[in-house]
Amino acid sequence: MRTAAAALLAALDAPARTAAGHPFDDDGRRWLEYRPRPRPGVCLADLDRAGRKAAHRLLATALSPTAYAQAMAVVALEEVLDRAEGWRRGRHSGDYWVALYGDPTHDDRWAWRIEGHHLSVSMTVVDDLVSPAPVFLGANPAAVRHAGRPVSRPLGVEEDLARELLAAIGPAGRAAAVVADEAPADIISATRPSVDAPLTPLGVPRRRLGPTGRALLDQLVALYLDRLPAELAAREADRLAGGDPHFAWAGPAHPGTRHYYRVQGDDLLIEYDNTTDDGNHAHTVLRRPASDFGADVLATHHADAHH
């Protein structure tokens, strides 16, 4: 990440470098915005080819190959959505911003974010430890189909695996897991930089599921952790090992309707919603409610410095 961030800064001209760079303690570092609007940083559309490529290489340090492919599909959907809306809003696949906080070449505390409509990836680095959250991916349209067959469905696995889990846990498990007949309008954590009021775990805890249900819930958690590179995903899995996450679902169980689910455990929050456009507009996020934006590694750093 340091190498890629330094290469990005080197590829930018002076105005772009000024727009991209911010102090580490800038209020904009703790920022999550997945709606289509301007945000801190420099817009990729305003960069030359070398600058845009450097930004993509930085993004790739935070995502596994499969998640990077999902992210690129999300970016490309901006043009698809613009056409579907009759070109009225001028959406553009270059409308993504990169921001750096602190100096990646010299500082022991620095962070970066690449963000735009339906994509937000924030990484915080302290003493060469990476705190990898939040990671948001959305898709509108969630699915493009031809004759009933999917042509594009970037977040299809996230939906299908949760439906498989819901079907496998049996009537008693579903009675506990389904917490509402209607899905909420959006993910509950929304664009807030922190999950201020702790969410009460809802649904069915892992310990109450049978072997198949536990295995599928573990696969669902792994799916979201595997958005990260292998080393980070393994570290996050170790951090969460032994927990008892809850799985909750809201809305009808059959496809093509508005639905929502979340997985919640100790310092783990996974949310998925597909609740607009009659269930064809998806949001997904991986968060660490107690340690988003590097709160964990910063606390350790401050404690060590004080000692």
Please tell me whether residue 85 adopts helix, strand or coil conformation.
coil
Q: What is the pLDDT of residues 261-270, one digit of tens each?
A: 999 999 999 9
Q: Mean pLDDT over residues 156-181, rounded?
A: 97
With bands split at pLDDT 50, 70 and 90, how would you rate the model's confidence at 301?
low
Structure tokens at 216: 């599928």
Is the model's pLDDT at 182 over the cut of 90? yes
Mean pLDDT of the chain: 94
213 within 8 A of 164, measured Cβ to Cβ: no
CA distance linking residue 208 with residue 215, whole number of Å = 12
Is the model's pLDDT at 166 over the cut of 80? yes
CA angle at residue 75 from 73 to 77, to 5 degrees? 70
With bands split at pLDDT 50, 70 and 90, how would you rate the model's confidence at 296?
confident
CA distance linking residue 255 with residue 78, whole number of Å = 24
Is the model's pLDDT at 300 over the cut of 80? no
* Torsion angle defined by CA atoms of residues 203, 205, 210 and 216, in that order, rounded to the nearest 10 degrees: 80
Q: What is the pLDDT of residue 180?
A: 97
Q: What is the pLDDT of residues 91-119, one digit of tens each?
A: 999 999 999 999 999 999 999 999 999 99
With bands split at pLDDT 50, 70 and 90, how would you rate the model's confidence at 61?
very high
Q: What is the pLDDT of residue 103?
A: 97
Is the model's pLDDT at 171 over the cut of 70? yes
Q: What is the pLDDT of residues 110-148, one digit of tens each?
A: 999 999 999 999 999 999 899 999 999 999 999 999 999
Q: What is the pLDDT of residues 215-233, one digit of tens each?
A: 999 999 999 999 999 999 9
Q: What is the pLDDT of residue 276?
A: 82
Q: Mean pLDDT over residues 269-284, rounded?
A: 92
